[in-house]
Structure 1
Amino acid sequence: MSRTSIKAVLAAVAVGGAVVVATPAATAAPDLPTVVRAAMMDRSGPGAQSVREPLFEPTRTSGNWVFGSTTIPLTATAEHQSPQTALFIARRDRGRWQVELDGTEGFVRLAAQAPVLSEGEKRTFAANYTASQAAAATDTGLGLPWAQGVAWYMGGGPHGDSGTSRPFNSIDFSGGDGRVLSAGPGRVYKSCIRNGSALVKVVHDNGWTTTYYHMYNLTNLSDGSAVNTGTYLGHIGNELPCGGSSTGAHVHFSLLRGTTQTSVNGKVFGGWTFYEGSSAYGGYAERNGTRVYPGNGRVTNYGPSDGDTPGDYPTGTVDAGSNTYVNLRSGPGLNYTITGRANDGEVVSIVCTTRGGSVQGLWGTTDLWNRLPNGSFISDGFVNTGSNEPVAPAC
């Protein structure tokens, strides 16, 4: 397909946010790859014209309905990258194709009508989209992609899908028996299938989506199969089914929310909070005051939490008094920058407690400040922990 034809499709009529193209009924089917590729180029953003042509990989058809995946391959010289991929649902209606990519309201709406999807898949896609629209908690409710209770190495700290690109939504892991397992329950899909490898995606009900790259000996589960936390997905390797490069066998583990690649900074997986550094592949993982840096020490998978309380951190309930929220600060005092807010009644996890600026709280004056998993601080004067003493270790 030429760049000219892609641009022509991108300029076609948009119906309900979908990319569509008018086609004679007799030639509609051959034009579907063009529409799908154009939709993927449109999603990939302004730099789309400089990347390789997206793959068109249909996996199911029924009458005028088609379901599959589309992936933008990487060049052979792309360093430590993971390809962009999306699921698509397509329907031919009155001589034209309507195409929607996953993670959008349009996809959920079209998927609900699609005979090529199971009822379980429809529920998962709907739940994932609904949850992805809510404010994202720091705790993903996911574990790490290997066996619970086992420690692996973090070979590369938070970085982008294209290495140094932002957001830093990916982490590289290796170790143990090399078996990569699903970080949480959901539905599994494979794209860019080449030479026994593929880019593996798991769509989770809680709004998150995780992808896994560089693996071999993949699961034989069919696309759309339900998986649980710990379901086998593949084995760490240096496989490059869709291009890129790899040094040392590992799994490139990435996080998305809806259609958005999401930074892992301040996010909790397997009981650990991950923080990015000043540059790609740096940063560290932290749990109960213990830090693990890339290539130095190992990270034990404590499994997924309930999505609200990371690992075994103590918790407290925010009490904003007559207000609806309490400001979070970049440090332990009111003179520090506001970094966010905690809503009245919200349960927060407390990593550690320190002394700082005095605040007139609901129970009197206090200089105690609690640090949350995302690195922000909240005055203990507005957090009901059930104790007048610190419930977490000193920062």
Structure 2
Amino acid sequence: MVQIRRWAGIATALLATELLVAGTAAHAAPAPDPVRVNVEDAVTAKLLGQARAATADHADESDTRVTVTRRAGGWAFGTAVTVTSHEEDIHPTGAVFIARAEAGTWRVNFDGEAGFSELAAESPLVNKQEKAVFARTPSTMQAGGDYRTGMALPFAVGQTWTMTSGPHGWGGYEAPYSSIDLAGGDQVVRAARAGTAYTMCTGWIRVIHDRGYSTDYYHLWSNISANGTAVGQGAYLGYTGTDVTCGGAASGRHVHFGLRQNSAYVSIAGHGLGKWEFANGASAYQGGARHGSAWVGAGGGLYNYGALGFNQAVVDANGGGTLTRRSGPGSGYGALGSVGDGATVTVSCSANGTSHTGRYGTTALWNRLSDGSWVSDAYLWTGVNGPINGWC
């Protein structure tokens, strides 16, 4: 692994790659003419362009670290990080990149971009495991009301850790509030879902998952050294720590956990992790999470129930202790018993029935459970608006 900092030639790279880094047009095979711009400068140019657009600050070449971890012929693969100040809680940003030499310069794409998927499908540097994740062009799923992640919390299932800070920005106070801080338990940070892992810099691991998602883990101590390492859900990534090699601040050991989708940090609010649904507070670092009717705010303990399946739901009786199961999709059908608040249920299919009002509004949708009984969708958290396993 070779880490290179390039300060010269950035302006030239930015001009030479202006059209190619966008990655939106069809591309021919790599041209045989000599590459006039080195890949480190081309990657840095794109990284700085994104950093300036996102933060409106004056990031420059001295703030970047481009690490080429694989290189062959006209291809390069690695990580690119914008380093931040160590004097305040502003965390670094970065990306996994693939670059291909074209027409004397480089086409560069970052993880999550559609162009990244295109290059991954063709690159000889991308292994089979990575292709299985990268080659799926992402879509903006949450815009359609789908907030399912299939993720656990980033520590061992069955443990309770303290959410030392509620939802806040990856860099602190900026929107979206993509991140939470966690500490406690055995202090072992684990992958929230299966994927491929990359060391962005010392103390920072990114895991790229399916469905356009990726997760970031920062401030780690004794973290793994990963370069496309396949990890399963719950795999060891490192220990909580206070590492700020690439910037930011940490007053006590913890993991700064961030959620990304389609190459950008996204609001953690509404998403399910470890069968908790997260919610923003009045300002950054406030807010909390809900499991059934139970609410935990910043400073409280989160029990890791594990990942919620894509055809499962958590019962939210909206303050009640139980939810009545019916023989059909409506309150006029006979009662078949009840299911407790906070329980996990599996949904077979859905149908419309009598209308009811729960924590999230009014709906006529009913869900048939795997045991054949029915419950109103008004009292379930599924992570999606509408049926989660088709219509009956």
TM-score (norm 2): 0.76
Residue 17 (structure 1) aligned to one of 17, 22, 25: 22
1:236 and 2:240 aligned: yes
Q: CA deviation at 1:200?
A: 0.5
Q: What is the correspondence of 1:49-64 to structure 2 with a 5 Å cutoff?
A: 50-53=58-61, 54-64=64-74
Aligned counterparts of 1:17 and 1:87: Cα–Cα separation in 2 = 15
Shift of 1:291: 1.1
CA–CA distance in structure 1, aligned partners of residues 56 and 130 of structure 2:
29
Q: Distance in 2 between matches of 1:211 and 1:378?
A: 36
Taking every aligned residue pair, what percent have the same amino acid on both sides? Answer: 31
Task: Specify every segment of 5 or more residues in structure 1 that has no aligned partner in the other structure, as ranges.
Answer: 317-349, 353-360
How far apart are the structure 2 equivalents of 1:291 and 1:140?
20
Paired AA for residue 252 in structure 1: H
- When residues 392 and 26 of structure 1 are mapped into structure 2, their CA distance, relative to the original with a 3 A threshold, is closer
Give the 3 Å change call, closer, same or farther, for CA 3–33 of structure 1 in structure 2.
Answer: closer
User: Contact 1:137/1:307 (CA < 8 Å) preserved in 2?
Assistant: no
Pick from 40, 43, 47: which aligns with 1:36? 43
SS at match of 2:119: helix
Following the alignment from structure 2 to structure 1, what is the Cα–Cα distance between the partners of residues 282 and 375?
Answer: 37
Q: What is the aligned partner in structure 1 of residue 357 from structure 2?
A: 369
> Matched residue of 1:75: which SS?
coil
Deviation at 1:178, TM superposition (A): 0.5
Tell whether the 8 Å contact from 1:157 to 1:282 is kept in structure 2 after alignment.
yes
Q: In the comparison of the two structures, how many residue pairs are matched?
A: 337
Deviates more, 1:164-173 or 1:82-91: 82-91
Q: Report the CA distance shift for 1:103/1:384 in structure 2 as closer, same or farther (over 3 A).
A: closer
Written as runs of structure 1 = structure 2, the 5 A alignment for 1:82-97 is: 82-97=91-106
Q: Deviations over 1:79-110 (max 9, x none)?
A: 32321111111112342222111111111111
Q: Which residue of 2 aligns with 1:355?
A: none
Gaps of 5+ in 2: 1-5, 318-322, 326-339, 343-350, 381-392
Cα deviation, residue 181, structure 1: 0.3
Alignment match, 1:210: 215
1:326 aligns with none
Q: How does 1:142-291 map to 2 (within 5 A)?
A: 142-192=151-201, 197-220=202-225, 222-291=226-295
Deviation at 1:132, TM superposition (A): 5.1
SS at match of 1:189: strand
Q: Matches of 2:162 and 2:116 in 1, distance apart? A: 37
3-state SS, counterpart of residue 39 of structure 2 = helix
Summarize the alignment of residues 315-330 of structure 1 with structure 2, pairs less than 5 Å apart: none
1:282 and 1:7 map into 2 onto residues whose CA distance is 44
Q: RMSD across aligned C-alpha pairs, in angstroms?
A: 3.4
C-alpha separation between the residues in 2 aligned to 1:7 and 1:49?
A: 21
> Cα distance 1:187–1:2, how it changes in 2: closer, same or farther (>3 A)?
closer
Asked whether the equivalents of residues 39 and 101 of structure 1 are also in contact (C-alpha less than 8 Å), the reply is no
Against the structure 1 CA distance between its residues 7 and 200, is the aligned structure 2 distance closer, same or farther, given a 3 Å change threshold? Answer: same
| 1:382 Cα deviation after fit | 3.7
**Which consecutive aligned stretches of 4+ in structure 1 deviate over 6 angstroms post-superposition?**
388-391
Corresponding letter in the other structure for 1:65: W
- Letter of the 1:383 partner, please give it: W
Is the CA contact (8 Å cut-off) linking 2:17 and 2:107 kept in structure 1? no
